[in-house]
Amino acid sequence: MRVLIVEDEPELMSYLSLLLGNAGLVVDRTDSVEAALAALRTAPFDIAVVDRRLPDGDGLSIVKAMAKTENRPAFLMLTARDAKPDVIEGLNGGADDYLVKPFEPGELIARVRVLARRRHPKRSLVLNAGNLSLDLEGRNASVGMETLDLRRREALILEALVQRTGRVVTRDVLIEAVYGFDDLIESNTLEAQISRLRRKLRDAGADVEITSLRGIGYILKKVEPAF
């Protein structure tokens, strides 16, 4: 799940990034209407958390500009203004939800989860592939009774692969699902994470494995029986 934060206050931005990152989302950050629109037109986002008061305009103009586009994210607006008309204006303007600052961290996460569920209603919260089970809410993976100790990005990689079990997932799709724009991706970062993940699956006795297709991507499939 990928989220774009549009906020011009550096402290609040760091706080929001930390909260949403810890909740298992891939976070990208922008601080103006213009930068947000550029980001939204460049990559698919599931959710955008948008401040109303931005240096170059009202955050609501982002919602309006994206209204008719195909990959419009769910918009959660933030505002310091607590005037009811402002909230009503936001919701009428096409925002999916509204949160007034200051807010409780738990409330932000809960609202983002509601938007995520609404966006992917059919996405089960527990995904299975063979004897591997991945709990998206708790970000836990287990094989039988054994829990895999996964780092955040390893869990995101596994999520992207399990959702497409048996199908090829290109390197670009994986990178988009796992990293934000600002993340420094060295050429072998993904490969290193995949190889750790592969080892963890094997050590836990998973009956699925990650196979590389050189130059194309990866596929999660049943372990071929050895003869």
Residues forming the site for Ca ion (CB under 5 A): 8, 51, 53
Nearer to Ca ion, 8 or 209 (CB): 8
Burial degree of 82 (CB within 10 A; 0-12, 13-18, 19+): exposed
Please list, in sequence order, all residues whose beta carbon lies within 8 angstroms of the beta carbon of residue 14, skipping any fewer than 6 positions away.
none
CB of 55 to Ca ion, least distance (A): 8
Nearer to Ca ion, 32 or 131 (CB): 32
CB of 53 to Ca ion, least distance (A): 4
Buried b (16+ CB within 10 A) or exposed e, 142-153: bbeeeebebeeb
Nearer to Ca ion, 8 or 135 (CB): 8
CB of 102 to Ca ion, least distance (A): 13
CB of 6 to Ca ion, least distance (A): 9
Nearer to Ca ion, 53 or 119 (CB): 53
The packing angle between helices 171-178 and 152-162, to 10°, is: 130
Burial degree of 38 (CB within 10 A; 0-12, 13-18, 19+): exposed
CB atoms within 10 A of CB 178: 22
Nearer to Ca ion, 51 or 159 (CB): 51
CB of 180 to Ca ion, least distance (A): 21
